[in-house]
Structures are given as C-alpha cells and as structure tokens.
Amino acid sequence: MVLFDWASRTQWLADVQNYASSLLTSKTVRRLQKQRPDCWSDNFDWLQPQDADSLFAELFYDHYSHIRCFHGARPLDVGSYLTDGILGQSSNTIEATFRKVFADLPKESLDRALDEFSDRKSSEQGKLWVLLEEKELVQHCGHYLIQGSEYVMALAASLCRIHRGEDYRLRLRDIGIPTIFEAHVPIDCFPDSQMISLTRSVLSGWGQFVTGNDLGFNSSPCLVLYRDIEPALIAGHTHPARIRDPHFGFSQYSNPKVKCDHCV
C-alpha cells in the first residue's frame, strides 16, 4: 500500500518530483521559478502540455494506491462501525434516531420536519463524506462530532420552528460519542470527479511550492464517496477532548467522553 497523506505536505511535495518527473521536468521547474505564474487548480495555463493535469492524474494513480481519510461522527455505538464499517448516509437510520430522540414531541411535528427534508433524503442517500486532514474536523467542522450528521441537525433545527419550546439541536449533544475514524481508502473507491479534484489540488500545491507564489492553498479537500467504507479499511479511531464549536462562535467544546469500550 502506498498511502497519500494530505497532512504530510512536505512528503508529498517531495514525492511529486519523483513520480511525476517525466511530466514536471527540471526544465519546467526552472521556467516556473523564473516566471512565477499563478498556479491555480482550475486553470492550468501555467503548465504544458495542455492536458498536463490529466497526465499528472495518471502518474498520481500509478504511484499511490490509497488515500488517508478521516470521517467525523457522533455514533451511538462505535462497535457497530468497527463491525459493519462506515456506512453511507441512510435516511432510515437517521429517521429512526430522530424519532427516538424526540419521541416526547407530537408525531405530527416529527412527520412535518421529515416531510420538509424529503428531497435531501433521496439526494444524500448512500453518500459518505471524508476529509483528508484530521485537524479540520476539530477546528472547522466540529459540528459533526458535537451534534452528529448534518441531516439530523437540520431536522432538529426544523423542529425548533415547527414546535417551539427549546433548541432541540442541543439534545443531539446528549447521545453518542464524538469520534473521528481514520480510514485508508483505495483510490478506485472514489468517483473520478473526486480524484480529479484532488490531483488538481496536489498539482496546484506543487506549482505554488516551486514558484514560491502562495495563493492561499491550505484547506483540506472534502471528498464524497458513494459507497460504504468496509471495516478492514478503518485504521483507527479517536475521541478528541477539545473541539471548536461552529454553532457557538467556535468557542471550545469540552468532550466529556474521550474513551469508549473499543479504544485501544
């Protein structure tokens, strides 16, 4: 397995120069260092030949076999993830959790909230989102760890309007345990569009490094899978103690559950 690890930026920048040397020749490097163009990830006029980004993607696929990924969640049962894998979004599971957590509210209110999101139910079915940098989940997207899936959060937020009384989103903080799963996912599990986006980011990052012309390239790509991640691909999990809370001005959320029965 040759793992691509976005967080090891120094390493993958050095690797580019090796596995893509047939495309990114020393002559090309000298030209880029002299001209210092803006090395965008959505416009490769700065590189020759015209299809350099596609050629680079092929070299990337030849070199790496897997992508290091992180998935943030607030599972009710960490063990089920380790047994069944990280499953793509299931509206049935989310709906069951929603009905259980808000069982004390009128059924009509719950039905109405679910009806309002029927489009989302079908458009997100089976999808799974991963980030390539663990710290992103703690610093910028902490809501997945603090309150669970965006879908159930949206349902709870909708209830606040349908059945006034409390901020129902806060109830989601009383169930489950904030968890980051690490998985090493084979490249061919990702849709082509996702890998094209990633390899363009890598190539752009390399260009900015070589030219010293920094375009503010630092955010971790978010990739979408249209399939589950099997248990064998899960490399570990953690329960971060401190998480920045996007729903409260990025103040610090202290996680009271930093261990589960499956921690090693």
Residue whose token pair is 């059924």: 107
User: Are 261 and 203 a contacting pair, CB within 8 Å?
Assistant: no
> Which listed range, 87-95, 111-119, 181-189, 255-263, lies at the site for Zn ion (CB under 5 A)?
255-263
Q: Max Cα separation, the chain?
A: 70
Position 96 contacts Zn ion (CB under 5 A): no
Q: Would you say 179 or 201 has its CB closer to Zn ion?
A: 179
Q: Would you say 170 or 263 has its CB closer to Zn ion?
A: 263
Torsion sign, CA atoms 102, 106, 111, 117: negative
Position 258 contacts Zn ion (CB under 5 A): no
Position 263 contacts Zn ion (CB under 5 A): yes
Q: How far is the CB of 81 from Zn ion (least distance, A)?
A: 10
Neighbours of 108 (CB within 10 A): 10
Position 3 contacts Zn ion (CB under 5 A): no
Position 260 contacts Zn ion (CB under 5 A): yes
Listed in sequence order, the DSSP H helices in 36-86 are: 52-63, 78-84
Q: How far is the CB of 139 from Zn ion (least distance, A)?
A: 21
Structure tokens, 166: 């409390």
Q: Tell me how far apart the alpha carbons of residues 155 and 169 are, in angstroms, rounded to a whole number.
A: 9
Position 2 contacts Zn ion (CB under 5 A): no
Q: Would you say 3 or 263 has its CB closer to Zn ion?
A: 263
Neighbours of 54 (CB within 10 A): 13
Q: How far is the CB of 233 from Zn ion (least distance, A)?
A: 17
Picking from 187, 184, 200, the residue whose alpha carbon sits closest to that of residue 16 is 200
Q: How far is the CB of 218 from Zn ion (least distance, A)?
A: 29
Q: Would you say 156 or 234 has its CB closer to Zn ion?
A: 234
Q: Give SS3 for 153.
A: helix
> Which listed range, 104-112, 117-125, 185-193, 254-262, lies at the site for Zn ion (CB under 5 A)?
254-262
Residues that bind Zn ion (CB under 5 A): 260, 262-263
